[in-house]
């Protein structure tokens, strides 16, 4: 499953943070290339700060994302694409038509849950061109003590897309690692709990 797209339908869902940390986790045992197709360029900014803390490249998108991803996939085990925060964006539509897997981070908030309905529709439309496209919702920034967080799986069960068993909890270490130009894997004991849940998610994805 070489091409993994991280897709969202609103800003603030933690899409880029999830993408770069999954890439960092995968890169410990595999060769990785990452494309920052989000116009905000946050992954590229993070890579510029990271320097030697990261052992994989992050590329700006070219005119043809499909040709670019195909080129990188030929020389790497995985290609990750950080997509724009909209399923209607041209780049997102293009990526879903050739990606192997779409990961969709969803925060346990009403607005995020409503936005996920549009993602389901976009995935189904992309499958008309790319019938082998797999998709998985990832509960992100979970706060287990809140009522909505406890109910989020029940709500997502109404959407015809699988939900990862692993939920990513809200942790300050994700923000702190980004500020330091690192992934949670670079932070030793401080990042151990976050790295453990990411490893669990990676096993589900790959």
Domain that holds residue 113: 3-200
Q: Is residue 155 part of a domain?
A: yes
Phi (first) and psi of residue 130, to 5 degrees: -125, 75
Report the alpha-carbon distance of residue 97 to residue 119 in Å, rounded: 14
Kindly provide the b/e burial profile for residues 80-117, where b requires at least 16 CB atoms within 10 angstroms of the residue's own CB.
Answer: bbbbbbbbebebbbbbbbbbbbbbbbbbbbeebbebbe
- Per-residue tokens: 108: 């346990």
Q: Are 13 and 116 in contact (CB under 8 A)?
A: no
Q: Is 84 helix (H, G, I), strand (E, B) or coil?
A: coil
Q: How many domains does the chain have?
A: 1
User: Is 205 within the bounds of a domain?
Assistant: no
Residue 30: inside a domain, yes or no?
yes
Q: How far apart, in whole angstroms, are the C-alpha atoms of residue 131 and residue 149?
A: 32
DSSP at 130:
-
Mean pLDDT, contiguous 10-residue spans, the chain (206 residues): 85 83 96 96 92 92 95 97 92 96 86 77 95 94 70 79 91 89 92 96 94
Q: For residue 206, tell me if it sits in a domain.
A: no
Partners of residue 82 on adjacent β-strands: 6, 36
How many Å apart are CA 202 and CA 58, to the nearest integer? Answer: 19
Here the CATH number for the domain that contains residue 35 is 3.40.50.300
């Amino acid at each position: 499953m070489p091409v993994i797209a991280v897709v969202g339908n609103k800003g603030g869902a933690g899409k880029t943070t999830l993408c770069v940390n999954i890439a960092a986790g995968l890169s410990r045992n595999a060769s990785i290339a990452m494309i920052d197709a989000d116009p905000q360029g946050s992954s590229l900014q993070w890579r510029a700060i990271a320097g030697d803390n990261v052992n994989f490249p992050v590329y700006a998108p070219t005119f043809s994302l499909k040709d670019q991803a195909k080129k990188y996939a030929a020389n790497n085990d995985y290609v990750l694409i950080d997509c724009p925060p909209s399923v209607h964006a041209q780049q997102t539509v293009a990526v879903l038509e050739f990606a192997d897997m779409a990961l969709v981070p969803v925060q346990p908030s009403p607005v995020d849950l409503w936005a996920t309905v549009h993602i389901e529709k976009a995935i189904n439309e992309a499958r008309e061109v790319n019938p082998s496209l797999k998709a998985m919702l990832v509960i992100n920034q979970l706060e287990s003590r809140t009522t909505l967080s406890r109910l989020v799986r029940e709500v997502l069960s109404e959407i015809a897309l699988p939900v990862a068993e692993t939920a990513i909890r809200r942790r300050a270490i994700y923000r702190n690692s980004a500020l330091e130009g690192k992934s949670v894997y670079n932070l030793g004991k401080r990042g151990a709990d976050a790295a453990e849940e990411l490893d669990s998610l990676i096993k589900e994805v790959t």
